[in-house]
């Protein structure tokens, strides 16, 4: 891991042709410096930005969509469109896919990640967004629920304040934008360390990413994280894990996890994600 000057963020990202995805822990600053939202705006082309806002996770999509539209209008975006999708069939509407042709940035708001996935997963609209992101044609950002959906495996809900155990976390399928990770948002703010460890104990071929509020993990090329914001990004790395009792205990029993690696990143840090999957021994090792 190495440090980088935070002032280099904008020029590094805004001219990069590679995949650029902002995974935001929620409650990002919308009033004062707006560092994270301003970075998304800059990456999307600045005053040439054509931004699509997807507020489908929210139960008040019109209100939340308008709030972000006002923010990006104030920054000077060239064009902004709210994709107010409330039924799955709307994800097949060519009007939204046509708008994406000239789009430079897509922003998914917070709310309910299950609702967002139920509306967007496997729709032509989402498939087009994924293709454009992979080609580096658009910048994608998601905050809170919009961050939770990034992985193939998604945390749908759960608790906090307990030791790691299987019942602490509810898992389902996400949008698979960054399939190698499992995201938990509002991380330290809501004491979700045990929840993310529980998720990774049952998905040991993935990497856990816990993102605090007003904090962003910016993925460059899908393999490198660059951190910005006021909090931390916690990486739960099972790449050298030796053992977990997860397959052998009851849902509410505490979990054992041997040799799990934890990285805590702050503003300006860059981190290369581990890419290899692991296999666990069947027999418990001696402590």
118 is a catalytic site residue: no
Pair of tokens at residue 84: 């107010």
164-200 pLDDT, tens digit each: 999 999 999 999 999 999 999 999 999 999 999 999 9
What is the predicted pLDDT for the residue at 221?
A: 86
| pLDDT band of 161, cuts 50, 70, 90 | confident
Please give the backbone phi and psi of residue 194, each rounded to the nearest 5 degrees, phi first: -60, -35
Domain membership flag for residue 281: no
Q: What is the DSSP string of 178-236?
A: STTEEEEESTGGGT-HHHHHHHHHT-TTSEEEEE-TTEEEEEETTTEEEEEESS-EEEE
State the total domains in the chain. 1
Across-strand partners of 23? 142, 217
Average pLDDT over residues 55-67: 98
Instruction: Please indicate whether residue 144 is annotated as part of the active site.
Output: yes
pLDDT cut 90: percent of the chain above it: 85
The residue range of the domain holding 22 is 2-272
Q: Average pLDDT of 22-48? A: 98
In a domain, 284, yes or no: no
In a domain, 278, yes or no: no
Handedness of CA 52, 57, 60, 63 (dihedral sign): negative
**What CATH number is attached to the domain comprising 240?**
3.40.50.880
Instruction: Kindly report, residue by residue over 90-142, the tens digit of the pLDDT.
Output: 999 999 899 999 999 999 999 999 999 999 999 999 999 999 999 999 999 99
Is 28 among the domain residues? yes
Q: What is the DSSP letter of 39?
A: H
Dump pLDDT digits (tens) for 221-255.
878 999 999 999 999 999 999 999 999 999 999 99
Q: Is 182 among the domain residues?
A: yes
pLDDT band at 15 (very low <50, low <70, confident <90, very high): very low
Is residue 280 in some structural domain?
Answer: no
Which position among 144, 198, 213, 246 bears the catalytic label? 144
Catalytic residue (one of 56, 186, 198, 213): 186
CA distance 24 to 209: 11
Residue 157 three-state SS: strand
Active site residue 186: yes
3-state SS, residue 101: coil
CA distance 196 to 224: 20
Contact 182, 174 (CB under 8 A): no
Q: Are strands 153-158 and 169-173 parallel, antiparallel or unpaired?
A: antiparallel
**Over 60: is that where the pLDDT of 147 sits?**
yes
Residues 6+ apart with CB under 8 A from 135: none
**For residue 247, what are its two tokens?**
């397959």
Give domain status of residue 285, yes or no. no
Across the range 67-76, mean pLDDT stands at: 98
Q: What is the rounded average pLDDT for all residues in the chain?
A: 90
In a domain, 287, yes or no: no
> Which of the following is catalytic: 10, 35, 127, 162?
162
- Residue 172, classed as helix, strand or coil, is strand
CA distance 206 to 14: 28
The predicted structure's pLDDT at residue 6: 36
Residue 222: what pLDDT?
76
* Residue 277: pLDDT band with limits 50, 70, 90: very low
The predicted structure's pLDDT at residue 223: 84
């Amino acid at each position: 891991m190495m440090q980088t000057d935070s002032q280099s963020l904008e020029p590094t990202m805004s001219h990069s042709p590679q995949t650029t995805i902002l995974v935001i822990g929620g409650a990002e600053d919308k009033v004062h410096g707006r560092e994270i939202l301003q970075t998304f705006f800059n990456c999307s082309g600045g005053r040439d930005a054509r931004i699509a806002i997807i507020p489908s996770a929210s139960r008040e999509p019109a209100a939340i969509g308008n709030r972000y539209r006002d923010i990006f209008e104030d920054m000077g975006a060239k064009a902004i469109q709210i994709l107010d999708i409330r039924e799955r069939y709307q994800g097949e509407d060519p009007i939204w896919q046509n708008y994406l042709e000239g789009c430079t940035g897509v922003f998914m708001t917070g709310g309910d990640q299950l609702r967002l996935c139920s509306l967007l997963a496997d729709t032509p609209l989402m498939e087009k967004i994924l293709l454009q992101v992979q080609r580096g044609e658009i910048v994608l950002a998601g905050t809170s629920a919009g961050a939770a959906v990034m992985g193939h495996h998604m945390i749908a809900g759960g608790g906090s304040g307990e030791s790691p155990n299987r019942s602490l976390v509810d898992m389902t399928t996400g949008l698979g934008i960054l399939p190698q990770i499992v995201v938990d948002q509002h991380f330290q703010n809501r004491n979700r360390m045990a929840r993310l460890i529980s998720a990774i104990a049952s998905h040991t071929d993935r990497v856990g990413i816990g993102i605090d509020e007003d904090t962003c993990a910016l993925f460059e090329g899908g393999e490198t994280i660059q951190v910005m914001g006021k909090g931390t990004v916690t990486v739960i790395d099972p790449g050298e894990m030796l053992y977990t009792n997860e397959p052998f205990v009851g849902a509410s029993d505490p979990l054992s996890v041997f040799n799990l690696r934890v990285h805590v990143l702050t503003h300006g840090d860059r981190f290369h994600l581990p890419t290899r999957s692991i296999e666990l021994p069947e027999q418990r090792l001696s402590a």
